[in-house]
Amino acid sequence: MLLSDIHVTSAVLWRSALIVAPVDVAFVSILAWWLGGAILRRLKWLIAGTTAAFFAVVWGVVACYLFWEPVYHYFFPAWSRWLLPLAYGLGFGCAGLLAWWLALRLRGNSVVNFCILVGLSGMAGHVWAVHRGLLEKPPMLQGASPVAAVLFSGFEFVFYGGLILTLAAVLGRVWEQLKGKFLPK
């Protein structure tokens, strides 16, 4: 089966959201227990860099390689195909830095705040994509519910936020060990 043969329906998006939501709750809860605000504060530039690298890879592999023909060529000119990972990486890196800054200033757990802010940024991006025809132009997405697509993207990006924090914390720990210091547990 080719990717272009796949059809993403509203039911698939709703089921996916129902699967990812409890995974997010468990994953973010573990991260909130493992990482504290003090560690998050020290990971500022690692979070920005990890966010940039993560989304550059996601855009490079998923969007520009796997899903260019079935989805993304409807929205971007051909010349931009291999520039998009760099552009989205830089943009999301800045957004990650903003999410880090806000997460530490909002009430509640800063780790949870960060993941929710990343989730909200994903939803905002998908609202924009739906407005531009994400669910109308590519045949594989035609007819899917805009609400389901945007809601699923929120859970998807909360998970991405958790992955980013995990990678940044592991890189931070490695860096501290290389310097002869250890992050507090």
Concatenated DSSP letters for 147-168?
Answer: HHHHHHHHHHHHHHHHHHHHHH
Contacts of 148 (CB under 8 A, 6+ apart): 10, 13, 14, 17
Say how many domains are in the chain. Answer: 1
- Has residue 84 been placed in a domain? yes
Per-residue pLDDT reduced to its tens digit, 13-26: 999 999 999 999 99
Per-residue pLDDT reduced to its tens digit, 93-146: 999 999 999 999 999 999 999 999 999 999 999 999 999 999 999 999 999 999
- Has residue 157 been placed in a domain? yes
- Has residue 127 been placed in a domain? yes
pLDDT above 90: residue 184: no
- Has residue 171 been placed in a domain? yes
CA–centroid distance for 185 within its chain: 26
C-alpha radius of gyration, the chain, whole number: 17
